[in-house]
């Protein structure tokens, strides 16, 4: 795609210039270069398109002397190539998601004639309108662009020119004195958590505590109003780092298919939140939102997936994955044989026969003869009382949990990869809303029956497991930790891509 974009326009030839007429560069040429110069407004890098060089050469062409035919053809071709690459980046992102997430094979925009699109926009004198229409139309995309501009404006703000003083002890609790109160207040005001012009109290109390809670909530922290080391660390993140975080979030929004179906379920892993929503007239209407528990960051990360939910299993069996059986369950059963009956386990032979007796030979058969361990439906079942199935290679699904107290934690990466949902009844109602026979009462009855029952959905519901460390909601911007290091990988991939573009463009950049 890079080579195609960088050579686009050459086929038109000198007698089919797009950005020049008999008088020289057209007004559309100026608009096109201005779009490239403003690429940073979308979190893109103007240097990827040679925007400064194109701007310099266009200014020279406009101010005279007139360019020769060969020079016009070269500049025309380079501007077309830059606009082609910009259009592709704006619509589908700059990197293939599989470069960052091996199994995240998301649908791209349907192929279309990019050069014809650009030609039509230029000849119809609608360059600005056409490229505005080409950008993503997610409400969050527009909100994050506004946040990007706001955080860029904070880059040289005096509130970050000095470090916050050390805390008095390990933390600053409400009512305590703190030498850094003026600077703390200035930062919170600059970030919008403290109303402008608020009178500064003598101690850490009142409006300052309220503002700190707002800040903590927006940064994935426990909003307790106590300034501890975790909160101090987030307060010390410079605006430039937040700018990059927003740029990465915008990049992900360009290739995450949030609008591919009328109804969808989306899990944002770093936020630990599931949203079920409907798409009407291109707008997202959230029907419900709930907390989730995702895979452990250390070793059992939840993969990013875009698949259709096709089944719901009430009172499910838990078929213990072989890796968990080998590493955890079998060793535990050898140490504590009573665990087998207490948890409701049983064996399933390679031929499908159920065996309910715990023996050393049966454990060896799990390890070496293709037997499985499964947990019967019941109050101790690891999947809870309902399982939402969207078939995928990773065997990931949504399910309830017998340990709902974990939803009260701020950081919720406790699972082996599957996703535990806080309110399974509400989720089942959303999934089954087109079938009036499935009332809330019937759903609860099926969940509590203790007999496994799987139903096939008449209309599959897409499930999207996504990854955004920045989210705009309710007119505020929220930042979350890079739980799995995916932002770091994306940042590296984008920088490597920019380096390649610089190398590919170098011969033309030196041309005069």
Question: What is the predicted pLDDT for the residue at 2?
Answer: 54
Res. 509: pLDDT tops 60: no
CA 54/CA 179 separation, integer angstroms: 51
Answer yes or no: do 466 and 492 share one domain: no
pLDDT tens digit string along 434-483? 999 999 999 999 999 989 999 999 999 999 999 999 999 989 999 999 99
Residues 6+ apart with CB under 8 A from 93: 251, 252, 254, 255
Domain range spanning residue 318? 258-472
Answer yes or no: do 262 and 410 share one domain: yes
CA 163/CA 32 separation, integer angstroms: 42
Residue 459 lies in a domain: yes
Answer yes or no: do 498 and 421 share one domain: no
Res. 321: pLDDT tops 80: yes
Question: What is the predicted pLDDT for the residue at 99?
Answer: 87
Res. 316: pLDDT tops 70: yes
Answer yes or no: do 25 and 73 share one domain: yes
Question: What is the predicted pLDDT for the residue at 102?
Answer: 76
Which of 235, 267, 298 marks a domain boundary?
235
Res. 187: pLDDT tops 90: yes
Answer yes or no: do 446 and 301 share one domain: yes
Mean pLDDT of the 254-260 span: 90
Residue 252 lies in a domain: no
Answer yes or no: do 174 and 281 share one domain: no
Res. 7: pLDDT tops 70: no
Residue 46 lies in a domain: yes
Answer yes or no: do 196 and 289 share one domain: no
Highest mean pLDDT among 63-67, 135-139, 427-431 belongs to: 427-431
Tokens standing for residue 205 = 């109390």
Q: Are 165 and 159 in contact (CB under 8 A)?
A: no
Residue 27 lies in a domain: yes
Answer yes or no: do 6 and 120 share one domain: yes
Number of domains in the chain: 3
Q: Are 419 and 300 in contact (CB under 8 A)?
A: no
Res. 13: pLDDT tops 50: no
Residue 319 lies in a domain: yes
CA 32/CA 130 separation, integer angstroms: 11
CA 112/CA 123 separation, integer angstroms: 18
Tokens standing for residue 424 = 């399974």
Question: What is the predicted pLDDT for the residue at 11?
Answer: 46
Mean pLDDT of the 489-512 span: 81
Residue 158 lies in a domain: no
Residues 6+ apart with CB under 8 A from 69: 14
Mean pLDDT of the 310-336 span: 94
Residue 157 lies in a domain: no
The CATH number assigned to the domain holding 230 equals 1.10.101.10
Answer yes or no: do 360 and 422 share one domain: yes
Residue 153 lies in a domain: no
pLDDT tens digit string along 96-146? 998 888 778 887 777 778 889 999 999 999 999 999 999 998 889 999 999
Answer yes or no: do 73 and 220 share one domain: no
Question: What is the predicted pLDDT for the residue at 16?
Answer: 81
The CATH number assigned to the domain holding 454 equals 2.40.440.10
pLDDT tens digit string along 26-52? 999 999 999 999 999 999 999 999 999
Listed range (163-167, 220-224, 303-307, 508-512) with the worst mean pLDDT: 508-512
Mean pLDDT of the 324-329 span: 93
Answer yes or no: do 213 and 264 share one domain: no
pLDDT tens digit string along 196-252? 999 999 999 999 999 999 999 999 999 999 999 999 999 999 999 999 999 999 999
Answer yes or no: do 435 and 334 share one domain: yes
């Amino acid at each position: 795609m890079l080579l195609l974009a960088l050579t686009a326009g050459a086929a038109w030839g000198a007698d089919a210039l797009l950005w020049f007429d008999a008088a020289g560069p057209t007004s559309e040429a100026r608009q096109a270069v201005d779009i490239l110069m403003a690429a940073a407004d979308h979190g893109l890098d103007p240097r990827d398109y040679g925007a400064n060089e194109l701007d310099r050469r266009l200014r020279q062409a406009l101010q005279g002397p007139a360019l020769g035919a060969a020079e016009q053809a070269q500049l025309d071709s380079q501007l077309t190539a830059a606009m082609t690459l910009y259009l592709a980046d704006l619509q589908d992102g700059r990197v293939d998601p599989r470069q960052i997430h091996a199994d995240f094979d998301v649908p791209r925009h349907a192929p279309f004639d990019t050069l014809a699109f650009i030609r039509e926009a230029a000849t119809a004198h609608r360059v600005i309108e056409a490229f505005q229409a080409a950008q993503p139309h997610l409400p969050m995309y527009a909100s994050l662009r506004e946040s990007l501009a706001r955080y860029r404006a904070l880059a040289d703000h005096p509130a970050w020119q000095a470090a916050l003083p050390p805390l008095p002890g390990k933390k600053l609790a409400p009512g305590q004195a703190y030498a850094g109160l003026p600077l703390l207040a200035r930062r919170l005001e600059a970030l919008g958590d403290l109303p402008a012009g608020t009178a500064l109290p003598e101690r850490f109390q009142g409006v300052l505590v309220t503002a700190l809670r707002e800040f903590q909530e927006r940064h994935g922290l426990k909003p307790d109003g106590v300034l501890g080391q975790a909160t101090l660390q987030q307060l010390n993140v410079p605006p430039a780092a937040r700018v990059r975080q927003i740029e990465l979030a915008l990049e992900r929004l360009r290739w995450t298919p949030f609008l591919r179906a009328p109804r969808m379920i989306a899990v944002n892993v770093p936020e630990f939140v599931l949203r079920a929503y409907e798409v009407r007239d291109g707008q997202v209407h959230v029907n419900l939102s709930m907390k989730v528990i995702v895979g452990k960051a250390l070793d059992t990360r939840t993969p990013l997936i875009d698949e259709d939910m096709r089944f719901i299993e009430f009172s499910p069996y838990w078929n213990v994955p072989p890796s968990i059986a080998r590493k955890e369950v079998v060793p535990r059963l050898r140490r504590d044989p009573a665990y087998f009956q207490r948890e409701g386990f049983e064996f399933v032979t390679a031929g499908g026969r159920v065996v309910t007796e715990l023996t050393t030979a049966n454990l060896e058969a799990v390890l070496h003869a293709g037997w499985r361990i499964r947990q019967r439906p019941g109050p101790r079942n690891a999947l809870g009382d309902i399982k939402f199935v969207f078939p995928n290679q990773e065997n990931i699904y949504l399910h309830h949990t017998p340990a709902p107290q974990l939803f009260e934690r701020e950081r919720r990466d406790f699972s082996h990869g599957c996703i535990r949902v806080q309110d399974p009844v509400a989720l089942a109602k959303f999934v089954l809303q087109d079938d009036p026979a499935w009332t809330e009462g019937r759903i609860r009855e099926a969940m509590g029956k203790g007999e496994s029952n799987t139903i096939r959905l008449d209309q599959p519901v897409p499930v999207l497991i996504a990854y955004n460390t920045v989210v705009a909601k309710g007119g505020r911007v929220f930042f979350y930790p890079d739980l799995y290091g995916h932002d770091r990988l994306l940042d590296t991939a984008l920088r490597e891509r920019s380096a390649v573009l610089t190398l590919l463009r170098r011969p033309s950049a030196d041309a005069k």
